[in-house]
Amino acid sequence: MSEDDKLYADLWVKQSDLFLKLVALVPVVELGITASCYTLMNASHPKTAQWVAVVGVLVMGAAFIILRRTTDYIGHFRNKITHLLPVVTESQLTGRKVGLFLPGLCIIINLVLATGYVKFLPP
């Protein structure tokens, strides 16, 4: 294995680790945003809840951009070391696609919350 192969393999592992950590964090952040909206709506602060949802859209948009960029790096580094990796058939549903889907779903949820059409049930 050449020095370049070692470098690209190390970069591939680091980017994959970064991707997985960020994907794992997305649902936690979304839970906090949704819980904040719920609490604010029940405390009769609907405008503040809507602003929290708008901030949630921005945060999830940033997460999507970071994840998209990370998948580009992962693909680039993987292409450099394909001769070292086992041959894998490309499936329709991959971890990268699911990882990019999560922040997109959270953006949709936060947009719905930001419109104010969702009314939480009273406690």
Give the separation between CA 37 and CA 33, rounded to whole angstroms: 6
User: What is the phi/psi pair of residue 122, to 5°?
Assistant: -65, 150
State which residues form the domain around 45: 3-83+92-115
H-state helical runs in the chain: 3-42, 46-80, 95-115
Q: How many domains does the chain have?
A: 1
Q: Is residue 74 part of a domain?
A: yes
Q: Give dist(CA 10, CA 63) in Å, integer.
A: 23
Residue at 111 is within a domain:
yes
Length of the chain: 123
CB 75 within 8 A of CB 11: no
* Domain contains 8: yes
DSSP 8-state symbol, 116: T
Instruction: Give yes or no for residue 51 having a pLDDT over 90.
Output: yes
123 occurs within a structural domain: no
Look at residue 46 and tell me whether its pLDDT is greater than 60.
yes
Q: Is residue 120 part of a domain?
A: no
Identify the band that residue 8 occupies on the pLDDT scale cut at 50, 70 and 90: confident
Amino acid at 68: R
User: Is residue 121 in some structural domain?
Assistant: no
State the average pLDDT for the chain. 87
pTM, entire model: 0.83
Mean pLDDT of 112-119: 78
Q: Provide the residue type at 80 as one letter.
A: K
Give the span between the Cα atoms of 85 and 73, in whole angstroms: 17
Q: How far apart are CA 108 and CA 20, in angstroms?
A: 22
10 within some domain = yes
